[in-house]
Structure 1
C-alpha cells in the first residue's frame, strides 16, 4: 500500500496500532501545535512514495 494516509485509515479501521500523525494537509498553525505536542525533532513525510524520498526533518 503506497499511500500512507490510506494505510493509516485502514490500520485504524481494523484495529492495528500505528504511530500518531497527521491525517493529511492541514493549516500551518494546526501542524505547529501537533509538532509541539509530539516533540521535536519530527519527520515530515510525503503521503506517497518511500525509500526516504520526500522526507524532511524539522
Structure 2
C-alpha cells in the first residue's frame, strides 16, 4: 500500500519506474504478459511500427 498523502511531493517518472521495479521484485513478478494486439487500429499499428523502427521499446 502506498504511503503517499495528498500533500506529498510530485513523483518523477524515474522514481515511479524504480518503485514499480522494486514492487515487481518483491512479488516475484518479473515478466508480465503483453497485450496480444488483436484489436489494434491501423494508426496504433503504424505508431508501434515507427517506435520499433526507431529502436524504441514499447
TM-score (norm 2): 0.29
User: Larger % of strand: which?
Assistant: 1
User: Larger % of helix: which?
Assistant: 2
Of structures 1 and 2, the one with the larger relative CO (CA 8 A, separation 6+) is 1
Larger Rg: 2
TM-score (norm 1): 0.29
